[in-house]
Structure 1
Amino acid sequence: MTYVSLSLVFLAIAAAVLAVALATSRDRRVLVARWWLPVLCTALTLTILTAVFDNVMIATGLMVYEPGHLAGILIGAAPIEDFAYPVAGLLLLPGVWLLLGRRSRRGAGVDE
């Protein structure tokens, strides 16, 4: 299995969770209007931090990649595949937040 295919699995799962969360949300337009700027800022920050720290870890020898499993696109010494995991987290966390928040609101209404 290549690093690209492994990255695509994580991205697909994260995108599916977010899609389900948004599809079942009643206030989807409000959420997207409210979240697009924070998500964009977070994506930019995560990309910069991933580029910096992955390059440091690779340069110091903490991480070593099998060249035959890489796509070949590098940002410094960091393979492009490394950037999929922060993006997957960026997709997954809002989806989980929405799904769990909806459940806790239902649970709070039952107790009252």
Structure 2
Amino acid sequence: MSYATLAGLFLLAAVVVAVVLRVAARRSLTPLALITTIVVLAALTAVFDSVMIAASFFHYDPSQLLGITIGLAPIEDFAYPLAGAILLPALWGLLTSRGHRTELTGPDGSGESR
């Protein structure tokens, strides 16, 4: 199985779970928040994966890669932060929509801590 196939399956699973969670939470995701998160995570992935590859912490079998890189990071590496950017806000939306949010209150119950 190539890295692209593995990354694609992982991303597909994350998207399916995110859609199910969003429907269950009955909440939508702000497109600007999603895009901003994806851009930041992609930049961090490009920098830190390139550093780790340059330091020889890990390597890839070139025959299993598509050959497209950003810095030293193969394009397949970007599926995982993309999946996180899609999946985690959906999970957060589900958890906060069902009353799992905790309120911080002060000693007198006023909502102000002392």
TM-score w.r.t. length of structure 1: 0.80
Cα deviation, residue 25, structure 1: 3.7
1:60 correspondence with 2:55: yes
- 2:6 corresponds to which residue? 6
Q: Alignment identity in percent? A: 48
Residue from 20, 31, 37 that aligns with 1:36:
31
Cα deviation, residue 76, structure 1: 2.0
Kindly report the root-mean-square deviation, in angstroms, between the aligned alpha carbons of the 2 structures. Answer: 1.8
Q: Secondary structure at the match of 2:81?
A: helix
- Structure with higher helix content: 1
Residue from 63, 71, 90 that aligns with 2:66:
71
Name the aligned partner's letter for residue 68 of structure 1.
Answer: S
Name the aligned partner's letter for residue 31 of structure 2.
Answer: W
- 1:46 corresponds to which residue? 41
- 2:75 corresponds to which residue? 80
d(CA) in 2 for partners of 1:9 and 1:100?
A: 25
**1:15-34 alignment runs, 5 A limit:** 15-26=15-26, 28=27, 31-32=28-29
1:93 correspondence with 2:88: yes
Name the aligned partner's letter for residue 56 of structure 2.
Answer: G
d(CA) in 2 for partners of 1:41 and 1:48?
A: 11
d(CA) in 1 for partners of 2:62 and 2:88?
A: 31
Name the aligned partner's letter for residue 90 of structure 2.
Answer: G
Unaligned 5+ segments in structure 2 are 103-114
Q: Which has the larger radius of gyration?
A: 2
Cα deviation, residue 101, structure 1: 2.8
Of structures 1 and 2, the one scoring higher in RCO (CA 8 A, sep 6+) is: 1
d(CA) in 1 for partners of 2:36 and 2:62?
A: 32
